[in-house]
Structure formats: structure tokens, C-alpha cells
Amino acid sequence: MSELKPFRGIRPRADLAAQIAAPPYDVVDYEEGRAYVKDKPLSFLRVEKSEIELEAGLDTLDPRIFENGAKNLARLQAEGKLVRDAAPCFYLYRQIMGSHRQVGVVAGASVEEYQQGLIKKHEHTRADKEEERTRHVDLLGANTGPVFLTYHARPEVDAFVRRVTERKPEVDFVAEDGIGHTLWVVSDAKEVAELARLFAAVPHLYVADGHHRSAAASRVQAMRRERNPKHTGAEPYNHFLTVIFPHDQMKIMEYNRVVLDLHGHTPAALREAIGKHFEVSETERPSPERPTEFGMYLDGRWYRLKARPGSYPKDDPVGSLDVAILQQNLLDPLLGIKNPRTDKRIQFVGGIRGTGELELRARKHGGVAFALHPTRIEQLMAIADAGEVMPPKSTWFEPKLRSGMIVRSIND
């Protein structure tokens, strides 16, 4: 089963939602964040990534960062810019990006179910990032950014969502990037109970994006349980903020790679070496059209790489991923990228930035770029079901959830 918990959401006044809601903290760096909030005094990025208001170069665990985030969150509430619902609710959050639309349920998900593996994950996390988010959540006393979950679509949930989204929404705006964000509040007690019952029949949820936030929620729960001699299991810290989408509405884009040098190869020598495991031909279409094919930008030209039969384990759910094929047959043996998680010579570029960004970076550094075919959501779920882990940077989900659309207190 999947236990969903309604909560008293802390959310922007409808007339200020477009000014407050912001990109998630982990898709902008320090300089990009400073530039983004320059003329946006209410931006929630000042809460989620509050170091952008402080001097550059601070340690990510500097207490001043969390103190500043807590101060900014409290200010938005004290000034009435963020208001809290009177009773526990669920919420529906719709995003529209071009022709793509997706509607997710906003709810508290069970930390215990995450710890038991009923909320399934597919990525390793980094200890430093876990620690930073753990302190952020604990010291602010709130889930300020949601975890992006998915589940195998169910007609009865779809019908509920259709019924609610025919009503007038509480919030509806188009952000500066052209993506639409709409929010409905499910406050009727019968509907709250109905939605909880529908999800109780869902056997598993899957973390799509937000592994560090999920891990942080588990750590915060453990910390607060230890500090609370009267722990009952009903405290708000036993759940964490999520937006849950059906699998057939998920949009995964490619997660491309740029290697900043040729690892001692000339372009001609690299092309020849690649030929052992790939068919190589020039192309005018950078993006691959099917799995096991890759675009490669090298020395001012685009090439199509086709993985040769037998060069990868076809029946292995992890080894047959395009990111794994590229890593095992090219990035590691030819370009010396042994650990893509830590190697400074490799950069990862979300597909939303386009192949022009790959050309720009490859030319700038004298390296080589690779355009990949997107991983399918069914592959992600199969790997999670098998208890396996995907290679780093295997998926790039779009559109991104806006931070500040809903905040969930873990204090009361």
C-alpha cells in the first residue's frame, strides 16, 4: 500500500504565486541563482538556496546559510505572502510545457515506507548533499522542496484527478520560461478520504527525482525521533513533501555528456578506436532517434554512433541502458572516465539545453560531446523493482517542479 497524508500547506497568496515560486535549488548554481533573484525580492530561491544572499565560497554546511533560509521563510509568512491552510488538504499540481501536460498529487509520503523499500529508489546519493539537505529541512522545520514520485497509472486515480481539475484552480500562472503551473486544493473531507483510499491500493511509489531530499527526510525523521522521548509516529516529521505523477505522464529528456579533453587521442585516432564497439558515420542530425544510438560532436562535426551487437548485455536492465553502454564501451576505456560521479573532466548537460550547448562546451574545451537517447520511465521502474541502481545522471525530468508552490511544516 501507499500511505498518503494530507497536510496544512503553506503556500503563496494567489496573486503572488508567480513572484514567489522558483526553480528548484539544484538546477541553478550560485551565480545563476544570484542573477535570477536580482529583481525578485519574493523569490523562494532565497529560502531554498539562501546562500545566494551571502558571500561566495561558503562551505555548504555553514550555519549562516540555514539561518538565512529560516529567516526568509519566516519573513514571507509574517508578511502574509505565504499563508497556511486551516485544515489538512491534498493538492493537485498541473504543469504544461508545450504540448506536454502532467498532473500530480501533492501529499505527505511515509518515511517508514521509504525506509522499508515500498517507495523505491534507483540512484545512489552523495553524503555531502544528503547532509546539506538534512540540515536545511531540520533547521527550517519544513519540507521546502518536494520529492518527485511516480507510480503505475491507475484509471480510478485518473478519474478523480479529472473531476477535480474541471473546477476553478486556486493558482494558475505561466512562469518566465513559458511553463504553466496550476494548483487545486482538495479540502473536502470526503474527497481527502477518497484520494487516500485510492492510493492505499497502489503497491509501490518510485522516486523519479529527489533522491537526496528523500534520504534527508529519512535522516531528519531518525534525528527527531531520537530527540523526542514522546515519539508516537504521528508527528509531521514522519512524512515528507511529494508530488506524485502517473508513469504515463512522465517526460524524461536525455542527459548528455561532455568530456573536456580527448585523453591524449587525436580526433582521427579516437574515431578509429571507437569503431571497435560502434558503427561510426557522419550525420547532420545530432540527436539519436532510437536506443543504442548516440550523437557525437568531435572536431567540429557530428557523428552517429551505433552500438554493435554483442557489445553490451542485452538482457541486463542496467547494462543495456544507453548511459551504461556509452560508459563501459567508450567513456571509461577510451577517455579515462573511470568514475563519472567524481571525475572533473566530464560534464552533464540536461536535454532541455539542446545540442547547441554540447557544441559550445566541446569547442570551448577542445573535447568531445555525446547526445543520448532518453531513458524510458519503464526502464527506471524495472531497475528500481530489481533493487538495482542506475548509472549517475541517467535521467533528466521536465518540466521541473517549482519550489515554493507548497511548503510542508514538520514542526506542527
The verdict on 260 and 274 lying in the same domain is: yes
Q: Name the nearest CA neighbour of 237 among 150, 137, 128.
A: 137
Residue range 57-70: average pLDDT?
Answer: 97
Question: Residue 270 maps to which CATH number?
Answer: 3.30.1760
**Residue whose grid cell is 552523495:** 126
The verdict on 57 and 93 lying in the same domain is: yes
Average pLDDT over all residues of the chain: 96
Query: Does residue 26 belong to any structural domain of this protein?
Result: yes
The verdict on 403 and 277 lying in the same domain is: no
Q: How far apart are the first and last CA of the chain?
A: 25
Q: Is the pLDDT of residue 240 over 90?
A: yes
Q: Are 405 and 12 in contact (CB under 8 A)?
A: yes
The verdict on 100 and 247 lying in the same domain is: yes
| CA gap 90, 7 in Å, rounded | 7
Query: Does residue 386 belong to any structural domain of this protein?
Result: no
Query: Does residue 162 belong to any structural domain of this protein?
Result: yes
The verdict on 186 and 277 lying in the same domain is: no
| CA gap 400, 179 in Å, rounded | 9
Residue range 113-130: average pLDDT?
Answer: 94
Q: What are the residues whose beta carbons fall under 8 Å from the beta carbon of 239, sequence distance 6 or more?
A: 5, 7, 108, 109, 110, 111, 408
Angle, nearest 10°, between helix axes 63-78 and 127-140?
40
Longest dimension (CA), the chain: 68
The verdict on 237 and 328 lying in the same domain is: no
Query: Does residue 348 belong to any structural domain of this protein?
Result: yes
Tell me: the pLDDT tens digits for 87-111? 999 999 999 999 999 999 999 999 9
**Residue whose grid cell is 563519472:** 340
pLDDT band (50, 70, 90) for residue 80: very high
The verdict on 214 and 355 lying in the same domain is: no
Q: Name the nearest CA neighbour of 133 among 248, 264, 26.
A: 26
Residue range 178-188: average pLDDT?
Answer: 98
The verdict on 204 and 270 lying in the same domain is: no
3-state secondary structure the chain: CCCEECECCEEECHHHHHHHCECCHHHCCHHHHHHHHCCCCCCCHHHHCHHHHCCCCCCCCCHHHHHHHHHHHHHHHHCCCEEECCCCEEEEEEEEECCEEEEEEEEEEEHHHHHHCCEECCCCCCHHHHHHHHHHHHHHCEECCCEEEEECCCHHHHHHHHHHHCCCCCEEEECCCCCEEEEEEECCHHHHHHHHHHHHCCCCEEEEECHHHHHHHHHHHHHHHHHCCCCCCCCHHHEEEEEEEEHHHCCEECEEEEECCCCCCCHHHHHHHHCCCEEEEECCCCCCCCCCEEEEEECCEEEEEEECCCCCCCCCCCCCCHHHHHHHHHHCCCCCCCCCCCCCCEEEEEHHHCHHHHHHHHHHHCCEEEECCCCCHHHHHHHHHCCCCCCCCCCEECCCCCECCCEEECCC
Query: Does residue 295 belong to any structural domain of this protein?
Result: yes
The verdict on 76 and 216 lying in the same domain is: yes
The verdict on 282 and 211 lying in the same domain is: no
pLDDT band (50, 70, 90) for residue 341: confident
The pair phi, psi for residue 204, each rounded to 5°, is: -145, 150
Query: Does residue 50 belong to any structural domain of this protein?
Result: yes
Angle, nearest 10°, between helix axes 127-140 and 211-227?
50
pLDDT at 336: 98
Size (the chain), residues: 412
Query: Does residue 58 belong to any structural domain of this protein?
Result: yes
| CA gap 140, 154 in Å, rounded | 35
The verdict on 72 and 160 lying in the same domain is: yes
The verdict on 129 and 13 lying in the same domain is: yes
| CA gap 398, 61 in Å, rounded | 29
Query: Does residue 390 belong to any structural domain of this protein?
Result: no
Residue range 53-69: average pLDDT?
Answer: 97
pLDDT at 1: 80
pLDDT band (50, 70, 90) for residue 126: confident
> How many folded domains does the chain comprise?
2
| CA gap 270, 330 in Å, rounded | 10
Tell me: the pLDDT tens digits for 263-321? 999 999 999 999 999 999 999 999 999 999 999 999 999 999 999 999 999 999 999 99
Compute the C-alpha angle 386/388/336, nearest 5°: 150
Which range of residues forms the domain containing residue 295?
255-373
pTM of the model as a whole = 0.93
pLDDT band (50, 70, 90) for residue 392: confident
Residue range 149-177: average pLDDT?
Answer: 98
